[in-house]
Amino acid sequence: MRITVHGTGYVGLVTGACLSDVGNQVLCVDVDEGKVQDLRAGRIPIYEPGLEEIVRRNAAGGRLEFTSDVARGVAHGPFQFIAVGTPKDEDGSADLGHVLTVARSIGQEMADYKVVVTKSTVPVGTGDKVRQAVADALAQRLASIEFDVVSNPEFLKEGAAVGDFMKPDRIIVGSDTARATEMLRDLYEPFGRNRDKVIVMDLRSAELTKYAANAMLATKISFMNELANMAEACGADIEQVRIGIGSDPRIGFEFIYPGCGYGGSCFPKDVSALVRSARDHGADMELVRAVDNVNARQKEVLIKKIGKFFNDQLKDRTIALWGLAFKPDTDDMREASSRVLMEKAWHSGARIRAYDPKALDEARHIYGDRSDLTYCRSSTEALEGADVLAVVTEWREFRSPDFELIRDRLAHKAVFDGRNIYDPAMVRRAGLRYFGIGRGDAAGPVTAVGKAFPRSR
């Protein structure tokens, strides 16, 4: 099949590459000519495991091409996927400017039937706006050409996006016509060989399904973080609580890991957009608003613990920071907890020595060179000259470190574990203080700022 994907960001590139990998002829369109040239040369703008190999393989095989020529993209085939960004606007709503620009371009250039597939995450009712934008562009040309609009939201996890696309749990198709529905069924048939994974519904329900899924997952995370704060206040261990409740099959273990807040390109933006969309339709999503507020507060937990450790005297302290990306196996720092920690540490006069296996270049792009930020080439280098260690991303290489080496390198012998990946007892045996999330802040035999810290009860 001949498919055009408008947008070569995270969703667009993964979508185009994976669709080409099953034999389709895919043309990816992006108005950024520099990005197009990079992709043609095999330079991938994001880090996603397995993606570079698929892009290069299918580009070499002639199944995947890149262009900045919108007219060529519209003429390429009947499938017109819209996979451009929908950034958060100042009022929390999703900015549909790029989506509607693509829709108008399709209407301006199309010469035969098209099925316009919205892959971008958009508020309920966007399909109607896309349909109107295409129709208006056709009317300006005095052209009468048939087209359909379909909602086909993505459910890709950063760090596992290729696997999610190739072996999906479900494929949501929001369609109002039998013709478009059957075309999408045929398109996705190679991705559901063991069972039919296509779930067909009306267009607005498909749009809401995407927001509902992300809001539900974000709710589980914020709920666990609220419980973690409660556990810390009353002397319980949230990790034992997690195992206790996760063993209930009605709850399960997915997305009930407490930590220092969620980030990335989806959850923060989509939760805010859902709240705003509900308000626009006369509904008040009180619970979802609370999820957002809890997450914003949770991102400050780790730096507040560090501040308390130093009696709120962070000036001239140095924090070794392990992890910059919002999660492992990506270089994405959008809404990352690391950014909150660093920026608040700098505001208090502290310095950061940061290491991340993949996100150092992204950090340089965001923060540039500054005297209070050192980019380190290894986790060990980040410890040199540091007072304490903060872990905010649970990269695999951080899971089993040499705690005695950490103890010897740190001036104040304390580990702040923002993802609860360490056993507090093991850390303490190495002569380090341990501060986790909801774990009682069990103390070890060290001092900070010249004061002894008693063991927690």
Q: Which of 39, 27, 36, 34 is nearest to 2 (CA)?
A: 27
Ramachandran category for residue 349: left, alpha or beta (phi over 0 → left; psi -120 to 50 → alpha): left
74-85 b/e (C-beta count within 10 Å ≥ 16 → b): bebbbbbbbbbb
Please give the Cα distance from 167 to 454 (Å, whole number).
51
Please give the Cα distance from 330 to 45 (Å, whole number).
12
Q: Which of 331, 341, 255, 278 is nearest to 305 (CA)?
A: 341
Strand-pair partners of 172 = 199
* Active-site choice (18, 28, 260, 266): 266
Pair 393, 382: CB distance under 8 Å? no
Please give the Cα distance from 113 to 134 (Å, whole number).
12
Please give the Cα distance from 164 to 157 (Å, whole number).
7
The answer to whether 266 is a known catalytic residue is yes
User: Which tokens in the block code for residue 123?
Assistant: 């508020």
Please give the Cα distance from 166 to 164 (Å, whole number).
6
Q: Give the full edge-to-edge strand order of the sheet including 433-435.
A: 373-375, 351-355, 318-322, 388-391, 414-417, 433-435
The full length of the chain comes to 457
User: Which tokens in the block code for residue 24?
Assistant: 């389709």
Active site residues: 266
